[in-house]
Amino acid sequence: MADIIQLLPDHVANQIAAGEVVQRPASVVKELLENAIDAKATSITLIIKDAGKTLVQVTDNGMGMSVTDARLSFERHATSKIKAAEDLFNLHTKGFRGEALASIAAIAHVELKTKTDNSEIGTHLTIEGSKVISQEPAVVPKGATISVKNLFYNIPARRNFLKSNPVETRHIIDEFHRVALAHPAIAFQMLHNGSDVFNLPASNSRQRIVNIFGSKTNEKLVPVNEETEILKVEGFVLKPEFGKKSRGDQFFFVNDRFIKSPYLHHAVASAFDGLVKDGIHPGYFLFLEVDPHSIDINIHPTKTEIKFDDEHSIYAMLRATVKHSLGQFSIAPVLDFERDKGFDTPYEFSKKQPTAPSVEVDRDFNPFKEKPKQANISFPFKREQKQSWESLYVGLEGSFNTSPASPGSSLESVEMEFESDEVTGSLFENKEAESSQITFQLQNKYIISPLKSGIMVVHQNLAHQRILYEEFLKNITVKEAVSQQLLFPLQLHFSKPDIEILEKVREQLENTGFVFSGFGEENVEINGIPVLIMESHVVNLLQHVVNDIKEEVPDSGFSQNDMLAKSLAASMAIKTGVSLNKEEREHLINQLFACKEPSVSPSNRPVFTTMDVTDFDKKFI
């Protein structure tokens, strides 16, 4: 039998490795930023075009590479980070497998310009599809500039799997946040299509968080700090009232490396038990430092998962540390029943010096001096309160006549006629008119309505979503929405990426009834809102829209309008648990069956179901 096993060519092996390392442009951004950090750079600039599909460029002022190192860096399993297998369990750097640059060069056009501090001249290297096109000397500054162009140019199928530009840009920004938060001492800058997205100077952890997520974030942070023999925890958690329905603003870093750990997330979430409602996720920025020998990083191609030797101890310490911080800053309740808060010194007086009290005495006061007498006022009779107007006529006998009274007649002989209220039929009968359409509510979730052949069960939340969805979609398309003007404009604060998202859908939001008076770097001013929205719900509604757009947003056209209408309808619909009266139930059902597609919700879930009488008969057989 002929031999059938053969070695793969290098370019094929590199493309296979690229399938694990490079999943989207954000993967390239992560690898290049980590290489710049390992090169001990103090300033890093990221430039992207068309969400990284056309260009991803990273420039740093690090150590740079020699001519030989520049060429070897694109070979498979070539790295300067490890020299023996034991080094895998004592890692202090980011990239160590030596596959990143080789995988990137296999599926893109790559240019590298680099120079060391000791060299007088640098090198310029060009690679296309793992093939070296040229390598020649060049005059370049110290450090390295690597440009990745036309990602997946030779793998069209992989390129077709990429999402829209806003979604891919969102992933790149997420990776940029993760790297920038872990290294606040390094200055970062990010530009997208020529516009400045982030310009982060070197600072501390708290200032870096504020620079990324907006100035209003500073008042939301609660410091966390604890150090033990096993674990050192630093960072911040967000106050419970600033929790979100989506899993945003949740960052774990272990030895300055971003990780994802549902197990540790549960430890933080359990520390917030009783402080946040169900379905609300707390935010946190936690930096964990452990012994490198006690973790295994090389268990996942993207290095976002870590294996701990003693997960249970880390879980318990992390939970206790967060809970202690919440209690220390009076966020969590203190269970001390014998403590009287009335004896606590107010915070504004805690640092003031005590002063002697001053007593003012009236030296002219004479207790034996007679006071001026006051006139005694007496009432001849006691006034009684009566409950009705008839009490005004108590004691008067007879009735007044229309004829004048004779001279000498007394008041008792005067006749009085009381004008009685005429009893007429009320315009609205107290007793509700019996209607053939009788509805009632089940568990404040379903509306039950009888039919000729049985009953109909309507899901009130999904039904209201369908009603609002068609109304918003019509308003966005026809541009005839009604807006209610606000007496005082609303000032809402968002992060810079969220502001960009709102600006992109500003026209569609205005068609639904919003009136924006201005967009700042971190705030939005609103003068009018749709009629169906309460002023107190505007912040949560716009945040819900932003989160939906972050997940998946089409480029333009009807699909974008459709997504926006779905998001607004889902956030404004009647929630489960809301009690509806008879008129509200009937109005909801009438509006539902006036829709074009009453049977399904905007998310293609059934809105109602019917049950025939025969279905009940079968239960009693």
Tell me which of 439 and 410 has the higher pLDDT: 439
Distance from C-alpha of 498 to C-alpha of 221, rounded to nearest angstrom: 19
Stated as kind and residue range, the H or E segment containing 617 is helix 613-619
**Residues 551 and 583 placed together within one structural domain of the fold:** yes
Q: List, edge to edge, every strand of the sheet that includes 454-459.
A: 440-442, 446-450, 454-459, 608-612
CATH code of 560's domain: 3.30.1370.100
Model confidence at 429, in pLDDT bands (50, 70, 90)? very low
Q: Is residue 517 part of a domain?
A: yes
CATH code of 277's domain: 3.30.230.10
**Residues 163 and 253 placed together within one structural domain of the fold:** no
Tens digits of residue pLDDT in 331-382: 655 555 555 555 566 655 666 777 787 777 878 878 777 655 555 545 454 5
Q: Is residue 349 part of a domain?
A: no
Tell me which of 547 and 31 has the higher pLDDT: 31
CATH code of 187's domain: 3.30.565.10
Question: Which residue range is the domain that position 268 belongs to?
Answer: 213-328
**Residues 195 and 218 placed together within one structural domain of the fold:** no
Q: What are residue 446's DSSP bridge partners? A: 442, 459
- For residue 550, pLDDT over 90 is answered with no
**Residues 129 and 160 placed together within one structural domain of the fold:** yes
Average pLDDT estimate for 131-154? 91
Distance from C-alpha of 157 to C-alpha of 108, rounded to nearest angstrom: 14
- pLDDT at 303 (0 to 100): 67
- Single residue among 307, 328, 349 that ends a domain in this structure: 328
| Of 150-159, 202-211, 416-425, 476-485, the least confident | 416-425
**Residues 227 and 137 placed together within one structural domain of the fold:** no
Q: Is residue 621 part of a domain?
A: no
DSSP 53-104: TSEEEEEE-S----HHHHHHTTSTT--SS-SSGGGGGS--SS--SS-HHHHH
Distance from C-alpha of 140 to C-alpha of 113, rounded to nearest angstrom: 7
CA-based torsion, 566, 567, 568, 570: positive or negative: positive
**Residues 28 and 97 placed together within one structural domain of the fold:** yes
- Single residue among 328, 363, 387 that ends a domain in this structure: 328
pTM to 2 decimal places? 0.66
Q: Is residue 298 part of a domain?
A: yes
- pLDDT at 33 (0 to 100): 92
- pLDDT at 463 (0 to 100): 92
- pLDDT at 177 (0 to 100): 93
- Cβ(77)–Cβ(97) below 8 Å: yes
- Single residue among 275, 298, 328 that ends a domain in this structure: 328
Q: Is residue 559 part of a domain?
A: yes
- pLDDT at 215 (0 to 100): 82
**Residues 218 and 195 placed together within one structural domain of the fold:** no
Distance from C-alpha of 416 to C-alpha of 400, rounded to nearest angstrom: 3
**Residues 189 and 269 placed together within one structural domain of the fold:** no
Model confidence at 556, in pLDDT bands (50, 70, 90)? very low
- pLDDT at 191 (0 to 100): 93
- For residue 383, pLDDT over 70 is answered with no
* Cα–Cα separations (whole angstroms), residue 382 to 249, 376, 385, 570, 581: 72, 16, 10, 65, 49
3-state secondary structure of 348: helix
- Cβ(388)–Cβ(394) below 8 Å: no
Q: List, edge to edge, every strand of the sheet that includes 221-227.
A: 221-227, 232-238, 284-289, 250-254, 257-259
Q: Is residue 262 part of a domain?
A: yes
* Cα–Cα separations (whole angstroms), residue 535 to 381, 389, 529, 573: 56, 45, 8, 15
Single-letter code of the amino acid located at 512: T
Q: Is residue 5 part of a domain?
A: no
| Of 86-90, 215-219, 265-269, 303-307, the least confident | 86-90
* Cα–Cα separations (whole angstroms), residue 421 to 9, 400, 424, 428: 105, 18, 9, 19
- Residue 564: DSSP 8-state: H
Distance from C-alpha of 144 to C-alpha of 166, rounded to nearest angstrom: 28
**Residues 195 and 241 placed together within one structural domain of the fold:** no
3-state secondary structure of 434: coil
Q: Torsion angle, CA of 199/217/503/461, rounded to 10 degrees? A: 150
* Residue whose C-alpha is closest to residue 259's, from 299, 227, 230: 299
* Structural domains counted in the chain: 3
Tell me which of 36 and 564 has the higher pLDDT: 36
- pLDDT at 391 (0 to 100): 61
**Residues 72 and 178 placed together within one structural domain of the fold:** yes
3-state secondary structure of 506: helix
Average pLDDT estimate for 28-38? 90
* Cα-to-chain-centroid distance, residue 214: 13
**Residues 193 and 298 placed together within one structural domain of the fold:** no
| Of 259-273, 294-308, 383-397, the least confident | 383-397
**Residues 168 and 236 placed together within one structural domain of the fold:** no
Q: Which residues contact 550 (CB under 8 A, 6 or more apart)?
A: 167, 170, 501
Q: Is residue 92 part of a domain?
A: yes
Average pLDDT, the chain: 79
Q: Torsion angle, CA of 324/325/327/329, rounded to 10 degrees? A: 160
Q: Which residues contact 336 (CB under 8 A, 6 or more apart)?
A: none
Main-chain phi, psi angles of 84, to 5 degrees: -140, 165
Model confidence at 88, in pLDDT bands (50, 70, 90)? low
